[in-house]
């Protein structure tokens, strides 16, 4: 047994991969001890992300290939209190209140020290490509992953935004470089990434054209600052059974966008849906415009007509999470109240698989959080 004893953790094992309700089981596990450069955090609240759904399913590849462990604790977002620091950690101490960003890298190579840790050959997403995530009483992270918890937030608010918000920040601010007046098509605008993409557009003076599929999300994205909203249920972009695209409907969708922008196509398309939307994204993007993509919920094999890309000189940019500097800049906007967490539901620790299952079935809005050390909602605010 570890000198720090044992803890409760929601654990995924290789022999039960599948739906979150079956894959995630509550077990008692040794508390991990921090090694050099590492910090152990007592988790107060943990944010739910789509990567927990991927980890539970073992997709796109089984997590166990990366970690070498026979168990996996997911959870790439957390707020909490530092409870032990490993050798060599000098900037953080026991008792510090923190939020955690989910990028891990070696910290020693030229990419980490001069270019961008996202280019490190050992770059990985904490608790998706490594173990010891936040759906446990304690988690284990690299010291560089810590950010000060914004004092104005409760534990659950502070745990809700890191992964999706920091990803959206890099996509729009540093990759696509949105500018005032840009028209930005935001797929899934009422989801985890989309709610922050809409707010970032508003903050930068760009016009978010928010795509959603339910009435409650229409009101939400308007409140967050969307310039216009499209309900995708009004367009049959592809055949729901065969997946075959419907070009007339895609053209009508493009016409609807132009109707909202004063006759122009989108400067930037914010993509993460993948197979179901990518053809449309490339098509509706303006000449010299940019499609920026970080995920593919509906399928990884993307099919589009490249003539619309080259003839109109469009760009496709891949983007993946964010580096520590981007996380810190983005976190500051939260601390200043300029970007707000969008927390739709809070669950007790004992129900951790439930929000993951809801997420898999697209039954949620914004972000969901699981309370871990925090006993009830509303704790942790210091201002």
Residue, CB closest to ligand NAP:
191
- Rounded (5°) CA angle 289-268-185: 135
Q: Minimal distance in Å, beta carbon 86 to ligand NAP? A: 26
d(CA 211, CA 189): 6
Please tell me what DSSP assigns to residue 16: G
Give dist(CA 189, CA 201) in Å, integer.
11
Q: Which of residues 148-167 bind ligand NAP (CB under 6 A)?
A: 163-164, 167
Smallest separation (angstroms) from ligand NAP to the CB of 3: 35
Residues forming beta bridges with residue 42, ordered by sequence position:
81, 138
Strands 146-148 and 315-318 come out as unpaired
103 binds ligand NAP (CB under 6 A): no
**Shortest spacing between CB 311 and ligand NAP, in angstroms:** 26
φ/ψ of residue 44, rounded to 5 = -95, -40
Take residue 64 and report the two structure tokens written for it. 């166990």
Taking the least distance from each CB to ligand NAP, the nearer of 181 and 299 is 299
Nearest residue (CB) to ligand NAP, 69 versus 235? 235
Question: Which one, 124 or 320, has the nearer CB to ligand NAP?
Answer: 320
CA 14 → CA 18, 22, 350, 355, distances in Å?
10, 12, 21, 21
Considering only residues 332 through 371, tell me which ones interact with ligand NAP, judged by CB under 6 A.
359, 362
Of 181 and 243, which has the nearer Cβ to ligand NAP? 243
CA distance 314 to 281: 11
Q: Determine the straight-line distance between the first and last CA of the chain, rounded to whole angstroms.
A: 40
Whether residue 286 contacts residue 309, with contact meaning beta carbons closer than 8 Å, is answered with no
Does 117 contact ligand NAP by CB under 6 A?
no
Sole residue written with tokens 């009435």: 215
Find out whether the peptide bond into 60 is cis, omega within 30 degrees of 0: yes
Among 186, 210, 212, 371, binds ligand NAP (CB under 6 A): 212
Output 287 or 362, the one with its CB closest to ligand NAP.
362
Q: What x/- string results for residues 285 through 324 when contact with ligand NAP is judged by CB under 6 A?
A: ---------xx-xx---------------------xx---
Where does this chain touch ligand NAP (CB under 6 A) — which range of 48-56, 249-257, 300-308, 324-332? 48-56
Q: Which residues bind to ligand NAP, rule: CB under 6 A?
A: 49-51, 163-164, 167, 187-188, 190-194, 211-214, 217, 232, 272-273, 276-277, 294-295, 297-298, 320-321, 359, 362
């Amino acid at each position: 047994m570890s000198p720090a004893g044992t803890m409760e953790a929601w654990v995924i094992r290789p022999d039960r991969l599948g739906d979150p309700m079956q894959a995630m089981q509550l077990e008692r596990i040794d508390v991990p001890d921090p090694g050099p450069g590492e910090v152990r955090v007592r988790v107060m609240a943990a944010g739910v992300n789509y990567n927990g759904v991927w980890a539970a399913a073992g997709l796109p590849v089984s997590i166990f290939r990366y970690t070498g462990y026979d168990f996996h604790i997911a959870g790439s977002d957390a707020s909490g209190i530092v409870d032990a620091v490993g050798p060599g950690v000098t900037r953080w101490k026991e008792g510090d209140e923190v939020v955690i960003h989910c990028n891990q890298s070696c910290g020693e190579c030229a990419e980490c020290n001069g270019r961008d840790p996202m280019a490190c050959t050992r770059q990985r997403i904490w608790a998706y490509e490594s173990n010891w995530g936040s759906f446990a009483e304690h988690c284990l992270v690299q010291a560089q992953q810590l950010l000060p918890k914004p004092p104005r937030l409760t534990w659950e608010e502070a745990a809700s935004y890191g992964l999706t918000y920091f990803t959206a920040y890099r996509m729009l601010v540093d990759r696509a470089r949105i500018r005032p007046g840009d028209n930005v098509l935001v797929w899934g605008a009422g989801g985890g990434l989309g709610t922050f993409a809409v707010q970032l557009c508003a903050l930068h003076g760009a016009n978010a054209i928010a795509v959603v599929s339910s009435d409650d999300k229409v009101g939400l994205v308007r409140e967050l600052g969307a310039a216009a909203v499209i309900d995708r249920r009004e367009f049959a972009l592809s055949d729901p059974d065969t997946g075959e695209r419907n070009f007339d409907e895609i053209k009508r969708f493009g016409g609807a966008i132009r109707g909202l922008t004063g006759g122009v196509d989108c400067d930037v398309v914010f993509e993460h849906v993948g197979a179901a939307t990518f053809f449309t994204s490339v098509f509706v993007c303006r000449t010299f415009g940019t499609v920026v993509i970080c995920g593919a919920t509906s399928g990884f094999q993307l099919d589009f007509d490249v003539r619309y890309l080259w003839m109109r000189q469009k760009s496709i940019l891949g983007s993946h999470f964010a580096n520590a500097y981007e996380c810190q800049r983005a976190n500051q906007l939260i601390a200043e109240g300029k970007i707000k967490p969008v927390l739709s539901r809070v669950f007790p620790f004992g129900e951790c698989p439930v929000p993951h299952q809801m997420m898999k079935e697209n039954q949620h809005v914004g972000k969901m959080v699981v309370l871990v050390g925090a006993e009830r909602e509303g704790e942790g605010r210091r201002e």
